[in-house]
Amino acid sequence: MRNAFGAGLGVILLVGLYYAITIPSSDVGSAPSNEPITIGFIGPLTGDAAEYNIPIKNAVFLAVKDLKAQGKNIEVVYEDGGCDGDMAARALNKLVAIDKVKVVIGGACNGETLAMAPVAEREHVVLFSPSASSPDVTGAGQFVFRNVPSDTATSEALARLAHATHSSVAILSEAVDSTHDARTGFGTAFSGDGGDVVFDEAFAPDERDFKGLIKRIRESGAEAVMLNPQTESLAGAFMKQFRKSGATSTVYGMSVLGGGAFLDAAGEAADGIVFADYVPLDAANPQAQAFLEDYRKFFGEPKRDFAIASAYDAVNLIVQAAGHVGYDGPRIRDYLYNLPQYDGLAGKYSFDLNGDVVGALIGFKAVNKGAVERYTPCYKFDVLESKNVPEAPC
């Protein structure tokens, strides 16, 4: 057993290193006269989708805390987007008119982001999403950026993984807009590789009894299931009923199946699930170690390490840009377009002329005895070569 003083000192040194290297002073520069920066944040703060947004909001809090510790004059105004386009657009209009923001982190949901894009274009406000993965975000506007790959790329990689061991699959989605692209991308890729999609249906967001769907899935003869929900608790309820029915098929899914609310709702029924996610934070990276340690101290064990890393990076990127060009929407937009590479918690990446991330890695994880573990292989995805998803080391 380690000496308590030694362990405490180790954490202090690690966190100190983290603060020291989060944003090197040579990269950040300094905002003119330490210009105050007010960033907007829009995501679901209430409703079922709030469970997805909580880790993202937590990461933004940590980024602001760390930046303030470095002497940055930064504040965030949080608004509820409700995972609803109209609600998010109203929130953005408020942030622009009342709070005079030039940059907004959000939306957390695809519908929020797409609805806000025209407002961002009209007002020349940078909209930076750490989690909107719809392919429709590509080309949504010159002021729209994201540091996550699209659902199409991720679901295609997941389909290739599933087809490596299964010849037929059932796809079950929640009937909401945000699941459409993963449903289409997975099905198209699985069929294109010679697989057979033998079942493809959706359930209503208020569904609670999945017995009929489960019966039809089992009768379809599908060797595996692609579970594609938006709401983690509903997915957990399905898994409990699915395993209770005696079904033993491998279940695949997107990153929502790694969320804490899903794991809590599914319990033991989550074991064996394989889901597409982004490459986990490098445990050997002192910066990542210290960030995760800080997150645990404030919020407990993180469930979406890439999402929180992307959100943390987003805030730091905005402050870095403002330090070089001032807090101005068009100038920050141009800075992001011309950034050769950003070395952040979520990896090394840049942005193309659509504001899409270039250089992101797609990985996989599995649930084993209630714990989320890394699952290989990983895939290298470059949006400039969108048809090329070669295998890459994790």
Both 16 and 97 in a single domain? yes
* Per-residue tens of pLDDT for the chain, all 394 residues: 333 323 332 322 233 333 333 333 334 444 454 678 999 999 999 988 888 899 999 999 999 999 999 999 999 999 999 999 999 999 999 999 999 999 999 999 989 999 999 999 999 999 999 999 888 999 899 999 999 888 887 898 899 899 989 999 999 999 998 798 899 999 999 999 999 999 999 999 999 999 999 999 999 999 999 999 989 999 999 999 999 999 999 999 998 898 889 999 999 999 999 998 876 676 677 888 899 999 999 999 887 677 899 999 999 999 999 999 999 999 999 999 999 999 988 888 999 999 999 876 677 889 999 888 878 655 544 433 334 344 444 4
pLDDT value of position 134: 87
Number of domains in the chain: 2
CA 336 to chain centroid, in Å, comes to: 19
Residue 323 is part of a domain; what is its CATH number?
3.40.50.2300
pLDDT value of position 378: 52
Both 331 and 311 in a single domain? yes
Both 380 and 267 in a single domain? yes
Q: Burial code of 128-158, b = ≥16 C-beta within 10 A, e = fewer? A: bbbbbbbbbbbebbbbbbbbbbbbbbbbbbb
Q: Burial code of 29-63, b = ≥16 C-beta within 10 A, e = fewer? A: eebeeeeebbbbbbbbbeeebbbbbbbbbbbbbbb
Both 80 and 199 in a single domain? no
β-bridge mates for residue 129, sequence order: 146
- Is the separation of the CB atoms in 266 and 275 below 8 Å? no
What is the distance between the alpha carbons of residues 336 and 236, in angstroms, rounded to a whole number?
A: 38
Name the percent of the chain in helix, strand, coil, to the closest 5.
Answer: 50, 20, 30
- Is the separation of the CB atoms in 378 and 149 below 8 Å? no
What is the distance between the alpha carbons of residues 180 and 175, in angstroms, rounded to a whole number?
A: 8
Nearest to 165 by CA among 392, 370, 375, 367: 375
What is the distance between the alpha carbons of residues 169 and 139, in angstroms, rounded to a whole number?
A: 32
- Is the separation of the CB atoms in 150 and 162 below 8 Å? no
What is the distance between the alpha carbons of residues 54 and 58, in angstroms, rounded to a whole number?
A: 6
Question: For the residues of 154-169, what is the DSSP string, one character each?
Answer: HHHHHHHHHHTT-SEE
Both 189 and 163 in a single domain? yes
Both 47 and 194 in a single domain? no
pLDDT value of position 393: 47
- Is the separation of the CB atoms in 117 and 139 below 8 Å? no
Q: Three-class SS of residue 56? A: helix
Both 104 and 183 in a single domain? no
- Is the separation of the CB atoms in 66 and 17 below 8 Å? no
Task: Quote the domain boundaries for residue 382.
Answer: 152-279+363-392
Both 25 and 85 in a single domain? yes
pLDDT value of position 218: 97
What is the distance between the alpha carbons of residues 236 and 257, in angstroms, rounded to a whole number?
A: 8
Both 43 and 119 in a single domain? yes
How far apart, in Å, are the Cα atoms of 82 and each of 127, 348, 363? 17, 31, 29
pLDDT value of position 364: 86
Both 95 and 107 in a single domain? yes
Determine the angle formed by the axes of helices 50-69 and 232-244, rounding to 10 degrees: 130
Both 169 and 96 in a single domain? no
Both 51 and 108 in a single domain? yes
